[in-house]
Structure 1
Amino acid sequence: MSLSNQRGPFTVSHERDVIMTTRDGKRLLADIYRPAGVESAPVLVRRTPYGNRNNDLAEVFNEADFYASHGYLTVVQNTRGRFGSEGVWYPFVYEANDGYDAIEWAAHLPGSNGRVGTFGQSYGALVQYLAASQRPGHLITCIPVSAPLAAFENYWYQRGALELSWTLSYFLNMALDALGGTGDVDRLAQLETLTADPSVRFSPLKDEALRHMPLADWIGTFGAGAPFLADVLHHSADGAYWWAVDLRRQFHNIDVPMLHLGSWYDIANWDTPQYFNGLREQAMSERARENQAILMGPWAHLLPYSQPTSGGTGDIDFGPEAVTSLVAVQLAWFDHYLKNDGQDLPRTPVRIFVMGENRWRDERQWPLERTVFTDFYLHSAGSANTVDGDGTLTAEFPGPESSDRYQYDPENPVPTAGGRFVGGGVRNQDKNQARHDVLVYTTRTQDSPVELTGPIDAYLHVCTDGPDTDFVAVLCDVHPDGFVQNLAEGIVRGRFRDSFDDPQPMEPGAVYELHVPLGNVSHVVAVGHRIRLHVTSSNFPRWDRNTNTGEPIDKVTHIRVAEQTLFHDALRPSRLVLPIIPA
């Protein structure tokens, strides 16, 4: 159903460029959508750095119109330094205070009844958590959709590996916006030549651009369009710079009910359940702790999220139940808390889409209480390379076994094929699993369905011949027709094996047990299918290529080929831990 077909009973009037002044004197611009004839209405606030009349908000009947037509005074504000709002935009840094100010300002607008909720996706979701941590007095509830939690562990970086393609495409997109009114025609023209498809928002860059070294050169390429890239690259280990916007450190300061929306193929797959559980355990009041809910769908990082379809997640269709009106879900939540002064949850705390069966299911907690975390051990006779190798995956503990080896050449990285990132989703893994630098371990064919619902972890015993390298693990469902569906993936950068804020070089030849979290999933492996794990050392251009030298990522200009060994014997049992739900 289209958004316009879900129009409410009220006609909507618009006010443009309404000024709000922040506590430090910056004037931020907002558009206000008013339900006609409503003298006192609850307020919804969305804050965005992408322009309050751009993208989905450029539609004749957009999300803000939808809420206003259902009786909400709806405010859409451009964040500091963006699209006419004064000040300097720096990702995340000003959003806590500016968000507080926006909520309190909106609560006192003419026609407001003083009860405020917030909504928004991605960046627009993170700003909600940041504002809520300041406890604005008129904030009643929030619905963040796909929000990053800890930028070093899972946003600009993934556990120490730079999210190369996303970081560069994002900052390029923001630089084009920032430079558009400066008259810097030459730099704009140069930047526009770098994208693979200029017509696609956040398009990946061209391959030759993504391979450019050193990465520090991008600071000059973007120039004034994205000066903060220098800080992202300079802070290549966790620490105070990242902790300032790590919301895990603020859960105890949040005191409102929240509906956390996410999805299995989304960049925030790891983050969304952590927000839900973190606030369930640590939110300030008992009411806030008891009024947290989560919904996880089968989608990728949709732009926008308001009307998911059964597709849009790569090479798969998740069936009719995946076609969901998220605005209707959000409206019911807002009505409960803002119009009806709800005191208890209006829905079950956990609602998940079970892929494979392609249906929704309600639960009480995450992970599910009945989960049986089960070890599946990697086995081979020493030749697990490629899908034609002898790698297997079983519940049997290993005995004496030969190790598996491969060379990782950063000049010939394993190409990204789907996953959890903007533009990702499901892709057939068959070509990557035909490579000699990919180790493949597969179960027997399933004679009964196996449900995997929960967090997934791999523990790999490995060694390398240099001071640093990466190991990548990808969990797959092998269909009877040969299609290999990626379900989850993760990476560990060797120097961060023990600590994100105190990286240490690897000792060449030393054996380490590396923990590779693969995020969350809910998927039924059907009869006739097989479970597969593949292990390699790159996923490019999603993550930057580890050069195997141990040098700083922004300065390194040369690479070396690494000799990788994976052990799976009785003393070094490499394993995959799967969250199995009993039938």
Structure 2
Amino acid sequence: DAPARPRRPGLVQPRTLPLGRADLASSNRAVQHFRDWMRHQSYDDYWRAISDEERFDRVQVPVHTWGGWFDIFLQGTINGFAGVRAKGATDKARRETKMTIGPWGHGASQKFGDIDFGASAMRSLFEREIRWYGHYLNGEDNGINREPPVEIFYMGINRWAYHEDWPVPGTRYTPFYLASGGSANSARGDGRLSGEKPAGAPSDTYAYDPNNPAPTTGGNNCCGAPTLAGPRDQRPVEARHDVLVYTSDILRDPVPVAGPVKLRLHASTDGRDTDWMAKLVDVFPTGYAMNVAEGALRARFRRGLDRMELLRPNEVYEFAVDLVGTANVFLPGHRIRVDVTSSNFPQFDRNPNTGEDLGVSERVRVARQTIFHTAEQPSHIVLPIVTLPGPDVASSSSGR
């Protein structure tokens, strides 16, 4: 037999139950901050005291956030920019705060995951910092303060573009509706995605078994995590019966998407709590399925992280799953796809479906999930459609 792999110090053992004692499985000791996190289940005074987002109105100088579409901190990159723009303490801070987002993980690169985004994708953060501090600390008139506040990379066409704000001004928030003949299970099913209100069977169902969770395949991660991050082929996950797959017709024209992405899901479960996981996927003519955005919602937090409320079993609720944001041009010949399931493990811990306090359950139960798509309960994803950007913007930090 092969020798047992040594336990990696500090890595939470994700299958440990109850999760609140995973520190003992990971490091053989109680880790106080981990215990504190588990005890403070919702957004309370403990979290408010350490959240930067409670203090945007104290920021008196311009801020530059910098991140990647596949970075685990993408939400913070966007929130930091938007928060100072809206609430900064001075007009200068609000006006000159900037944001750059590339097709990266936690740091700039040309290739990430399966995809080489071209030489222009690579940026030098150091060069950008020198210009930023040169102006704001040394008074150099290098023009960085006059650049548009938002610079983002559009995947699909591999092109940078400047914008005057985030979300992009003039965005058309467009619903794409989930529909099927009642069997959207896996990519072999009959799930459809279109701009038309749903017709056909009223719902799709699947069983979510926490002992057999859908495996993490790409997505937003960083910093030595044991899962592979970035854009990855989703077809192995989409072969599972507990993953609902909704795919558009082949596109005739490009569909440029840039901004926040949200899934409005009408759904029920037979327990007091469960999770909803969603991915926005770009399907290539070859069949390759590239994830471009992902989101997760623990159902008890459907009214907000500070308003925890369990479900009534088998009652239909409308859930808003936040897929954070992206910038991707779905090209002619491609298809737009939405995947819906209830696990993404070990990127996210498994919901045991018991409704117990977080981290205390010593058991799991199989949940029966139903996704509705009728005229009265039209589950849909809202895509932020923008004008197709032109040639690459000029940027002295691009390295070109």
TM-score (norm 1): 0.63
Partner Cα separation in structure 2 for residue 224 and residue 409 of structure 1: 30
1:220 positional shift: 3.5
Query: Is 1:429 matched up with 2:228?
Result: no
Q: Distance in 2 between matches of 1:438 and 1:224?
A: 37
Task: Output one character per residue of 1:406-439: Cα deviation in whole Å (capped at 9) or x when no partner.
Answer: 0111110000001111151111100110110011
Corresponding position of 2:32: 227
Q: Which residue does 1:329 correspond to in 2?
A: 128
Residue 385 of structure 2 is matched in structure 1 by 580
Instruction: Choose which of 194, 199, 220 in structure 2 pairs with 1:420.
Output: 220
Higher helix share: 1
Contact 1:474 1:490 in 2 (8 A): yes
Measure the CA separation in 1 of the matches of 2:110 and 2:262. Answer: 28
State the distance in 2 between where 1:450 and 1:226 align. Answer: 48
Partner of 2:197: 397
Letter in 1 for 2:182: G
C-alpha offsets along residues 133-174 of structure 1, whole Å, 9 cap, x if unaligned? Answer: xxxxxxxxxxxxxxxxxxxxxxxxxxxxxxxxxxxxxxxxxx
Residues 443-481 of structure 1: per-residue CA shift (max 9 Å, x gap): 011111111111100000000111111111111000111
State the Cα deviation string for residues 180-212 of structure 1 (Å, max 9, x = none). xxxxxxxxxx9x9223xx8xxx8x66xxx3211
Q: Does 1:458 align with 2:258?
A: no
Q: How does 1:175-186 map to 2 (within 5 A)?
A: none
**Distance in 2 between the 1:216 and 1:388 partners?**
38
1:357 aligns with 2:357: no
- Residue of structure 2 aligned with 1:369, choices 169, 183, 193: 169
Among 17, 28, 37, the residue aligned to 1:213: 17
The AA in structure 2 aligned to 1:356 is G
Counterpart secondary structure, 2:104 = strand
Instruction: Give every structure 1 segment of 4 or more consecutive aligned residues whose post-TM-superposition deviation is greater than 4 Å.
Output: 341-344
Deviating more after overlay: 320-329 vs 397-406: 397-406
Match of 2:184 in 1: 384
Larger relative contact order (Cα-Cα within 8 Å, sequence gap ≥ 6): 2
Structure 2 counterpart of 1:568, one-letter code: H
**1: CA distance between counterparts of 2:375 and 2:122?**
47
Q: How many angstroms apart in 1 are the aligned matches of 2:265 and 2:242?
A: 16
Is the Cα–Cα contact under 8 Å of residues 215 and 555 in structure 1 kept in the other structure? yes
Residue ranges of structure 1 left out of the alignment (5+ in a row): 1-189
The alignment yields a C-alpha RMSD, in angstroms, of 1.9
| Contact 2:179–2:199 (CA under 8 A) maintained in structure 1 | no
The yes-or-no answer on 1:409 pairing with 2:209 is yes
> Which AA in structure 2 matches 1:335?
G
Find the aligned partners of 1:374 and 1:297 in 2 and give their Cα distance.
24
SS of equivalent residue, structure 2 residue 137: helix
Q: Give, in whole Å, the separation in 1 of the partners of 2:190 and 2:20.
A: 42
Q: Name the CA shift for 1:350/1:396 in 2 (closer, same or farther; >3 Å).
A: same
Asked if the contact 1:494/1:506 (under 8 Å) is kept, the reply is yes
Q: Is 1:333–1:346's contact at 8 Å kept on the other side of the alignment?
A: no
What is the CA-CA distance between 1:553 and the residue it aligns to?
2.7
Q: Tell me, in whole angstroms, the C-alpha distance in 2 between the residues paired with 1:225 and 1:348.
A: 48
Q: CA deviation at 1:399?
A: 4.1
Q: Residue 309 of structure 1: CA displacement?
A: 2.5
Asked if structure 1 preserves the Cα contact closer than 8 Å seen for 2:113 and 2:232, the reply is yes
Q: Please state how far the C-alpha of 1:223 moved relative to its aligned partner.
A: 5.8
- Helix, strand or coil: the match of 2:69? strand
Corresponding residue SS for 1:339? coil
Task: Give aligned pairs, total.
Answer: 378
The separation in 1 between residues aligned to 2:276 and 2:86, in whole angstroms, is 33
Post-superposition Cα deviations, 1:231-271, rounded to whole Å, max 9, x if no partner, equal: 11111222111111222210111101111111111112122
State the distance in 2 between where 1:316 and 1:400 align. 36
Cα distance between partner residues in 2 of 1:321 and 1:414: 34
Q: What do residues 90-138 of structure 1 show as CA deviations (whole Å, max 9, x unaligned)?
A: xxxxxxxxxxxxxxxxxxxxxxxxxxxxxxxxxxxxxxxxxxxxxxxxx
Percent sequence identity over aligned pairs: 42
